[in-house]
């Protein structure tokens, strides 16, 4: 009974929000960057062209990570470059033969887990952990780039 009433309350709240947004006099500006999504129509050539640039962009956040004052900007840059890199790597890994994909997926997983840990360390303003996580990202990126 409690679960059902909770679901009903959530549903009503979502409906109220939807109605409020639909009836707002001022237009709501929604900005969606579709490049951040995995694009199934991305070609292997496009991914290969972009991967080196996006990997360099990911590594260039080091300068922003050195000071507590710039950690928020570093997080934004890290998230942007890693999302593009993730898209490129996903396309490249899926273009490889099946016997190579297992290792590449493991390296992909390690790289983006390291990126996530780096993001959390930056959020917590822990400069020691930020440096350690950044080093892990560099190692993971070098590992996967050498296999691709």
- Work out the pLDDT band at 32, boundaries 50, 70, 90: very low
Closest C-alpha among 35, 65, 32 to residue 50: 35
Task: Sketch out the chain's domains with CATH numbers.
Answer: 39-147 (1.20.120.290)
- Work out the pLDDT band at 26, boundaries 50, 70, 90: very low
- Work out the pLDDT band at 117, boundaries 50, 70, 90: very high
Sign of the CA dihedral running 62, 64, 65, 66 = positive
Contact 84, 54 (CB under 8 A): yes
Q: What is the pTM of this model?
A: 0.65
| Average pLDDT estimate for 118-133 | 88
């Amino acid at each position: 009974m409690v679960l059902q009433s909770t679901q009903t309350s959530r549903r009503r709240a979502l409906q109220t929000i939807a109605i409020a947004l639909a009836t707002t006099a001022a237009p709501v500006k929604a900005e969606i960057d579709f490049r951040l999504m995995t694009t199934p129509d991305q070609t292997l050539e496009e991914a290969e062209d972009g991967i080196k640039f996006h990997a360099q962009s990911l590594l260039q956040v080091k300068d922003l990570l050195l000071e507590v004052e710039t950690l928020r900007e570093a997080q934004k840059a890290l998230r942007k470059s890693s999302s593009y890199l993730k898209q490129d790597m996903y396309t490249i890994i899926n273009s490889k033969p099946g016997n190579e994909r297992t290792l590449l997926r493991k390296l992909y997983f390690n790289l983006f887990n390291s990126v996530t840990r780096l993001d959390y360390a930056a959020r917590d303003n822990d400069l020691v952990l930020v440096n350690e996580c950044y080093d892990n990202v560099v190692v993971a990126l070098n590992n996967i780039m050498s296999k691709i």
